[in-house]
Structure 1
Amino acid sequence: MTTATKTRNTATRLLTAIALLSGLVLSAAQAHATTPPPPTQAPAATTTTLPVVDMEATVLAAQIDPRRADNTLTPGAKDSVLAVERALQARGLLDAKWVDGYFGTTTITAYAAYQRSLGYTGLAANGLPGATSLTTLGQGRYTITHQIGPGAKLQRDGYTIDTRTQNMLTEAERLAGLHLTLSQGSYNPGGDPTSAGTHDGGGVVDINIDTMSTATRTTVAKALRQVGFAAWIRNPTQGDWPWHIHAAAINDTDLSTQAQNQTGDYYLGLNGLANHAPDDGPRIPIQTWEEYQRTH
C-alpha cells in the first residue's frame, strides 16, 4: 500500500469518526430539547369529615338541660350539641362562652332566634330543633343521623294527634292488653286552661281511666312509659280535673314549651306538675319511642 493510499484511508476514518461524533452530539441536543421536564406533583386533595349530629340525642338534651339545676350534660348528647352550638355561634346567635355541649335556656333562645330567621313562628320557633331547621343550620357544618319527626296529623276519638303519637298509643295498648280512649288530644291551644299549655302542641294526650281499677291504671301508665311517654296518673286532688292519665311523648318535635318542660322533669324524677314533687308513677328505665323500637 502506497503512502498516498494510507493517507487517504486515515483521512476517511477520521472523517467518519467526526461524523459519528457529530451525530451523537446532535442526538443528545435534540433529546434534551424535545424531552419535557417531569410534571410537578399536584398536592393531594384533602377530605374534611363533618361532625355528626344525633338528632334524637340533641332534641332530648333540649328538653332535659333547661330543667336541670346544674350544668350536667345529657349523656350521649355533648358532641351533637356542640356542633349545633358552633353553627349558631357562626351565625352570630350564640356567644362563644355558651358553646359547651349543654343545651340550656341560652341555647334554646339562640335556636329559637334561628328558627325565626327562617320565617318560622309559634310551635315551629320554640327552640326545640326540628328536622328542617336542624338540617338547614348544618349545611356545610355537620351531617344528621337518627332523624325524627312527628309525622302527619290524624284524628283519634275525635281529637287531633300526630302519627308518631298514634303509633306509640297502639303499642301501649298491645302491652296493656286493652283499648285506650282519649279525653283530650294535641294541637289544642287554649282548649283546656287546666292543662297549662301542655296540649298546645303535639305529642300530648289525656286518657280516660274513670272505669279502671287502681291496678289497671298502673298497668296502663307503665305501658305508656315503656313506649316512650312521660305519663302520670292524675287525680282530682291535684287539680281541677277528673281522673285521667296525662301522657307526653318524649322527643316529639312538636311539643309545646310546657310539654317539653314536663318531659325534662320526668327524666329528673319529678311529677311534671308546678309543685315539682317527686314522680309518683311506676318507675321503669326511661326511653324514647325510637329507643323502644330498636330493642323490640
Structure 2
Amino acid sequence: MASAIKTRTAATRLLAAVAVLSGLVMSVAQAHAATPSPNTEAAAATAATLPVVDMEATVKAAQIDPRRADSTLTPGAKDSVLAVERALQARGLLDARWVDGYFGTTTITAYSAFQRSLGYTGLDANGLPGATSLATLGQGRFTVSHKIGPGAKLQRNGYTVNTRTQDMLTEAERLLGFKLTLSQGSYNPGGDPTSAGTHDGGGVVDISVDGMSSSTRTSVAKALRQVGFAAWVRNPNQGDWPWHIHAAAISDTDLSTQAQHQTGDYYLGLNGLANQAADDGPRIPIQTWEEYQRTH
C-alpha cells in the first residue's frame, strides 16, 4: 500500500514538473512570437523611409497631363509622379529628361511598356497605373497610398459596367430621386463606331434621356458630375447620334485611351469631343468618386 502511495506521489510530481516545463516552453515561444524578428523590423524601417505614391493623384495626373498644351503640373501629384518616373527610369523605360513630375504622353508610353513587361495586354496595359502594377513598380522604391480600382464587372440594364461605375450611378440616382437607364455600357470595343473608342474600356456609359425635358437632362448631367463623372448632354447636331448623356468615370483605371483623353479634357474645361470646344455642361467643382465619398 505504501509503495503504491509513493508511486502515485512520484507520478504526481512528474506531471507537475512536466506542466511547469510546458508552461516555460510556451512562455518562451509566445515571447519569441511577440518579438519582431530583425528581418521584420528592418523591412518595416525600410518601408517607413520610402517615398509614398498617392495613387489617386498619380492616376489623375496621367489623365490630365497628356492633354495639356503646356507642362503645368497637376496639383498635388508632383512628388508621386516623380517617384513613379524614377522607378521607370531605373528599369530603362524612361529617359532622365522626362523625370519631371509631369505624367505626359512619354510617361504614359513608358508605364504602358512596364505593364506589358509584366505580361499585361489590352486595357491592363493602357498606361494608367493600376494598383498591382504600381505596387510591383514600387518594390524597394516607394509605397502606395489611396489605392483605387474598378472592381468586378456586372450587368446593368443589359449592359456591362464595373462595380465602381455602378456605385457612382446609384449615388447619382439617389441625388436625383429617380432611376437612370443606360443606352450603352462599358467594355464594348467596336460596339458603336460613333463613340470613337470611348466605350472600349471601363467607366464609360451613355444615359437614355427619352422623355426628359431640357432642364432634367441638365440636372442629370450635374448629378453625374457631382459623383465623379465627366458628363455631357449630347445632341444630334454634334454627331451621328440621338440625344443622350455621355459619362466617363474619372480615374477609372480601365478607361480606354480615348476615354482618358475625355476626362483630361473635362478638367481643362473642354467638351470631350474631337473639336475640343468649350465645356457646354453645368460647371461645378470637379471631383473624383473617391473625393466625393470623403465629403459625403
TM bucket, shorter chain: 0.7 to 0.9
Structure-2 residue corresponding to 1:203: 203
Structure-1 residue corresponding to 2:110: 110
2: distance between equivalents of 1:275 and 1:177? 34
Structure-2 residue corresponding to 1:283: 283
Structure-2 residue corresponding to 1:58: 58
Q: In the alignment, is residue 244 of structure 1 matched against residue 244 of structure 2?
A: yes
Structure-1 residue corresponding to 2:76: 76
1: distance between equivalents of 2:86 and 2:51? 11
2: distance between equivalents of 1:190 and 1:77? 34
2: distance between equivalents of 1:267 and 1:107? 19
Structure-2 residue corresponding to 1:9: none
Paired letter, 2:195: S
What root-mean-square deviation, in Å, do the aligned CA atoms of Structure 1 and Structure 2 show?
1.0
What is the Cα deviation at residue 210 of structure 1? 1.9
Structure-2 residue corresponding to 1:189: 189
Identity %: 87
* TM-score between both structures, scaled by the size of structure 2: 0.84
2:65 partner SS: helix
Q: Deviations over 1:75-130 (max 9, x none)?
A: 00000000000000000000111000000000001001101100111111111111
What are the residue-to-residue correspondences of 1:44-193 with 2, within 5 Å?
47-48=45-46, 49-193=49-193
What is the Cα deviation at residue 176 of structure 1? 1.1
2: distance between equivalents of 1:238 and 1:177? 29
Structure-2 residue corresponding to 1:294: 294
Structure-1 residue corresponding to 2:223: 223
1: distance between equivalents of 2:241 and 2:163? 27
Q: Deviations over 1:189-222 (max 9, x none)?
A: 0000000000000000000002100111111000
Paired letter, 2:96: A
Matched positions, count: 252
Paired letter, 1:239: G
What is the Cα deviation at residue 234 of structure 1? 0.2
2: distance between equivalents of 1:149 and 1:286? 19
Q: In the alignment, is residue 272 of structure 1 matched against residue 272 of structure 2?
A: yes
1: distance between equivalents of 2:129 and 2:151? 15
Paired letter, 1:221: A
* TM-score between both structures, scaled by the size of structure 1: 0.84
2: distance between equivalents of 1:105 and 1:149? 22
Structure-2 residue corresponding to 1:13: none
Q: Deviations over 1:118-144 (max 9, x none)?
A: 011111111111111001000010000
Structure with bigger helix share is: 2
1: distance between equivalents of 2:206 and 2:84? 34
Paired letter, 1:263: T
The structure 1 segments of at least 4 consecutive aligned residues displaced by more than 4 Å after TM superposition are 45-48
Larger radius of gyration between Structure 1 and Structure 2: 1
